[in-house]
Amino acid sequence: MKLLRLTIRIPALILVSAIWYLLWLIGKVLTAPFQKGQGRRRWRKIVLNGWGRSMALILGMRIRTIGEPPRPPFFLVSNHLSYVDIIAYAACLECVFISRNDIADWPGIGLLARTVGTIFINREKLHDIPRVIAEINEALDEGLGVILFPEGTSGAGDRVLPFHASLLDPAAKASYPVSFASISYRTRPGETPAYLAVSWWGDMTFTPHVMELLKLSGFEATITFGSHAIGSDDRKELAKSLWRAVNDQFTPMVDSALLGSERDS
């Protein structure tokens, strides 16, 4: 049964992504005269949400939301557990993502990321920040939401990793009020726990991990939205405040002690 799921899901993911990509290109041509008008924005929302929901359906991912999602335009931070975080958020929000620049070169995923307007940031180059701020402003002016994963990497789900203040510099410099959310996963009884099957962390390599993920009968993603936005013109204070807010509402998926013993084994 697991092999059958894998056999069906791989071509389904490729085919459905290709269809949504083609629809995006068609809509881009049809709405080109309007550039940043409502028609173009509406089409983008349809494509991104449709792609996210289609991917979730194929993966067997049920998305549950708690709290009220922010209305666009918004700037939102979240903890980061897996590459499927993007699918979960894309399925329920009108947004673009801030991502590290090397993702743009990933086969397939990089093309999709560039197509839907992902904002790529080079963490090694401080002079890249003005460009990022300009792209954030452009996205907000178009009425979109912007999502950032300030941990800078994905974790196992035992805790919320420290937020990198440098990644929040664009929000602090522009005095954006920042919304927050937390995400967690749960697999079905009897299957590999989510911190191993869904979370992507440590020295896990992508291809073996995604193959195991595709074998799951299904799993649940829970997104909890914060009730308010947080603002500060000091990036370090902003990072600390947002980390506390996300950490306070995050429910660990695995005990850190168990995780430590597995790392040592």
pLDDT in tens, 89-107: 999 998 989 887 777 776 6
Q: Which residue in the block uniquely carries the two structure tokens 């600390």?
A: 240
Regions of the chain with pLDDT less than 50: 264
Distance, C-alpha 41 to centroid of its chain: 20
For residue 169, what pLDDT is reported? 80
Q: Which residue in the block uniquely carries the two structure tokens 């809509």?
A: 27
pTM attached to this predicted model: 0.90
Cα separation, 257 vs 119, in Å, equals 36
Residue 84 and residue 209 in contact, taking contact as beta carbons nearer than 8 Å: no
Q: Report pLDDT digits (tens) over 30-53.
A: 766 655 556 677 788 888 899 999
Domain extent listing, the chain: 59-251
Cα separation, 146 vs 136, in Å, equals 7
Residue 167 and residue 153 in contact, taking contact as beta carbons nearer than 8 Å: no
Return the SS3 of 153: coil
Cα separation, 154 vs 171, in Å, equals 21
Cα separation, 189 vs 114, in Å, equals 37
